[in-house]
Structure formats: C-alpha cells, structure tokens
Amino acid sequence: MPIVSHEKYCEMLDNAKKNKFAYPAINVVSESSANAVLQALAETKSDGIIQVSTGGGEFASGQAVKDAALGAISIAQHVHLVADRYDINVALHTDHCQANKVDSFLKPLLAASKERVEKGMGPLFQSHMFDGSAIPLEENMDIAVELLKECKELGIILEVEAGVVGGEEDGVNTEDIPAEKLYTTNEDMIYVHERLSEVEGARFMFAATFGNVHGVYKPGNVKLRPTILKDGQAAVTSKHGEAASFDLVFHGGSGSTLDEIRETLEYGVIKMNVDTDTQYAFTRPIADHMLKNYDGVLKVDGEVGNKKMYDPRGYLKKGETSMKERVIVAVKDLRGEGTTLGV
C-alpha cells in the first residue's frame, strides 16, 4: 500500500503505545537495503519505519556528489514506488541531523515535501529527527520549535533528542563525553514537553537517553537504566496530565538484552532504531561469498574467473536476504509481529 498519511502514521504510533510494542526503524543506504526492510515487514505482518541518516544519504548520492539530502530523496522516491506492492504500512524518516546540518539536510527535504504537498500529494518523508543534543538544551529546543512549526504545516512528525547517545555514528563520536550526559533528567523531559507544546496540535517523538550507546557495546560502557524513561514520563504526566506522555524513541540499542528492550516498551517506547546489527547482517554473507569463491570472484593467475560469482547481483541478493532475516528478529523482539493496521 502507499506510504502512510500523517493520520495513519499517528494511528500507528498510538497503536504501538496502547499495546506496548514498538516499530523497528531501520537505517538504509541503498535500494537493496530498503527492499530488505520491506520484505521483512511484509513477512511478519508488521508496519514499520525506513530511515536515512545524513551519512546514508550522502552515500546514496554517490561518491562524486556526496549530497546527503539528494541521496535521501533518491531512496525515499524508491520506497514510495516499491512500498505500493506490499500490504503493510510504511513511514519514511530521517535519522540524526545535527544543528550544523539543518540547512544542508533537513531544509532541502522539507522544501521537497512542501513542493509535493502544494501539488496535493503527501510529504516525501513522514517524520524527521533533529538532533540538538550536542548544544545547550534551551538552544536545542529553540531550533526544534521552529522546525516543528514547519513540520506541522506539512503533516510531518518531528523527533528530537535531549541527552547524548554514546559511541559513534556517521562520524560523530561521543565516546569521551561525561557519563552524566548519557542520562536525560526528569527536568529535561518536562522542559522538552513544555517547549514543544508551544506548537499547538503538532506531533512529536522524543529520544530521551538512558545510557544508550551507538555501535557495539564494549566492556566498561555505561549500562542502560530504562527506569529513567519511567521516571521521566511520570514527572511529565504528574505536572501536565496523561496526555503529555511522550512517544519515546530508543537509540543505540545494539547489544541490548531482550529484557532491556522489552522493559522500555512498558515506559512508552514506540520506535527503536536499528542500524549496526543490520549492517553486519548485510555484510556477513557477502564476506562468506568472497572467501568461498575466491578463484571465481577474481581473475587469478591469468584465468577468466566466474561471472556468476563476481556479478554483484549474486552476492547483494545474499546480503539483502540476510538483512531481511535480521529485521524479522527486530520485529519479534519489539513485539511487532502481526500488528499491522492494514488499509
């Protein structure tokens, strides 16, 4: 079915929160990886979210162009075309956009959506993330509020972050930040709610941090404290009522235990980003293919090799299938199997 409308997307998020499951939000960098996500969602009868980071968009635009917004548009257009062949609901999202990339990444994407909306179509992306976690919270929210105003007019949901996700992603390294920065406080959560609520009627998601780390966990990394989400939600709803409860997003989940993942669902997590694990899943069978078919992939000692072995379609299909299987695991971990809302 077509990419979801704003109303359907909101219905998806409400359904997840009510029934305590979350949507896997899978980062993709190509048509092949996007196809893997669509297949997995269809096979598990789960709705879901396909997302593109600035680095993913830059890669998709080609090494000679390196235009993150252009690459993101390219992937989004592909998903808009292909998703129509599947019987699940899909939303398109952009991942971490730091403050210094708003003008070069988010603004062009909002402009592309505005152009579509003015023609009577839906926006290109259904949600965007602004990551102002590296700047003071007040400045973070100042920028977020202005972006939220633009998003509301276009029927787009905005995701924000307060607190810092540790580790490294897309060249942004936060491994040396003070440990306390990895935990969003109750006061921060109240402030975020109050600032974003200035935009009446707008829908937003919040990536609060509770010790999350991008990439693969190593011994000694900060441990997750999911109860921070519970306490923060309680602080917000105590002051502003149950309707103020956040739609929370879980970043940096690679290496988390199933119990930790499931616990966050009890506290309002409705979206969990998945990237590192699916990157590995895509690459692992390709490495296996190359090692097992060395003489066929390469023209060794004057031989001609084996075209069936070095044809990229052969090994990329293996990567796509393996990534699909890992997305299926994510859907099941998040209790999303069989939860599609259908048409």
pLDDT digits (tens, 9 = 90+) for 24-72: 999 999 999 999 999 999 999 999 999 999 999 999 999 999 999 999 9
Considering the entire predicted model, what is its pTM? 0.92
The three-point CA angle 65-70-72 to 5° equals: 120
pLDDT for res 256: 81
Task: Residue 138: count other Cβ atoms within 10 Å of its Cβ.
Answer: 10
Q: Are strands 248-250 and 127-130 parallel, antiparallel or unpaired?
A: unpaired
HSE-up (13 A, CA, CB side) for residue 251: 30
Asked if the model's pLDDT at residue 253 lies above 80, the reply is no
User: What is the average per-residue pLDDT within 292-297?
Assistant: 96
Instruction: Pull the structure tokens for residue 315.
Output: 């090994």
Across the chain, mean pLDDT equals: 92
Q: How many CB atoms lie within 10 A of CB 18?
A: 9
- State the catalytic residues: 95
The arithmetic mean of pLDDT across residues 100-126, rounded, is: 98
CB 13 within 8 A of CB 247: yes
In the numeric block, the tokens 């900060």 are attached to 222
* pLDDT confidence tier of residue 237, bands split at 50, 70 and 90: very high
Collapsing DSSP to helix, strand or coil, 88 comes out as coil
**φ, ψ (nearest 5 deg) of residue 87:** -100, 35
For the beta carbon of residue 342, count every other beta carbon within 10 angstroms. 9
Residue 165: pLDDT band (50, 70, 90) is low
pLDDT value at residue 174: 46
- Confidence band, pLDDT 50/70/90 cuts, at residue 169: very low
Q: What percent of the chain lies above the pLDDT cut of 70? A: 91
Residue 176: what pLDDT? 52
Helix locations, 83-136, DSSP H:
107-118
Among 219, 223, 190, which residue's Cα sits nearest to residue 206?
Answer: 190
Give the chain's domains with CATH numbers. 6-333 (3.20.20.70)
140-149, 245-254, 300-309: which is most confident? 140-149
CB atoms within 10 A of CB 168: 13
